[in-house]
Amino acid sequence: MKKRDISKLITEQRNENSIRIDDKSTEEIIEIFNMEDQKAVKAVIKEKKNIAKAAELIVESFRKKGRLIYVGAGTSGRLGVVDAAECPPTFGVERDMVQGIIAGGYEALIRSIERAEDYPDEGVLAVQGRNVNHKDTVVGISTSGSASFVIGALEEAHGLGANTIFIMCVPPPEDMPFVDVFITPIVGPEIIAGSTRLKSGTATKLVLNMLSTISMIKLGKVYDNMMVDVQVWNAKLVERAKRLISHIGQVDYDRAAEILEDAEGNVKVAIVMARMGISYEDAVKLLDEKNGFLRKALEG
């Protein structure tokens, strides 16, 4: 793999707005941060069409019983792992449906292992280790677009038939035919030159939020603007579930608690039971007929 010269990348340049930042007051530094962070939001919306294409590929994979697999290094890798970890409790999906791979493995989540990103062969092995196939979508994350681990992983994933997406904060290169969709929010030079955990990290997090959440919406995991496939894994989530059942199912709080128990903790089933006045078995059957979409079950 050809080594990339990062010296000319936007992410490595000095930001004119933060010159002499070490001589600024704390409040002045905060103002600089706020001004620059707004650029991340604007950069993301410019990538709307590419984000939409990527989300459609992910939904396509899910409908084929495939997976969404994030691959990144450093901050990018951590953001991918976090997004993957949040999907099961939020949307009630299996733990292996959305996965995160970070260069350097588990230790890299809590301790920087900077050189881990330099080995494309390790990226290849990581993808092979997850048994990536044509049903899956693999999302590479590297704000500079230069992490060899990520590039190696994407090229291998493409060779195995998977959909491939690359999130980076620089213009897309022309020598990566193995990438199906590039998402490139150009946020400009960082406040501290080269510290891409700042604006670039913010833009990346925004994109990941969209990719996972939009795909879950399209699978029927959300009703209106509420996460109705929430898993009742702790006290907070149990309370949230009861409120959902009470509100959407149109029953009082105490009755919602009873129905949640009768529904074996399945919030969506409980809502159908409450709203339609039907049994657990009939609610499960109705949702199955509607492919899990609560609105279709409730509105016919």
In this structure, which long-range contacts are made by residues 281-285, counting pairs with CB atoms below 8 Å and at least 24 apart in sequence?
none
- The active-site residue out of 12, 56, 86, 258 is 86
d(CA 72, CA 66): 20
d(CA 140, CA 101): 9
The DSSP 8-state label assigned to residue 12 in this structure reads: G
Per-residue b or e along 247-267, where b marks 16 or more CB atoms closer than 10 Å to that residue's CB: ebbebeeeebbebbebbeebb
d(CA 267, CA 242): 8
Q: Is 28 a catalytic residue?
A: no
Count CA within 13 A, CB hemisphere, residue 169: 32
Which of 201, 198, 163, 212 lies closest to 51 in space, CA to CA?
A: 212
Is residue 88 within 8 Å of residue 94, measured between CB atoms? yes
3-state secondary structure of 261: helix
The residue ranges of DSSP E strands in the chain, in sequence order, are: 68-72, 98-102, 137-141, 163-167, 181-183, 222-223, 226-227
CA 57 to chain centre: 13
- The active-site residue out of 36, 117, 122, 155 is 117
Is residue 210 within 8 Å of residue 55, measured between CB atoms? yes
Torsion of CA 148, 154, 156, 161, to 10 degrees: -170
Q: Is 174 a catalytic residue?
A: no
Which residues have a catalytic role annotated?
86, 117
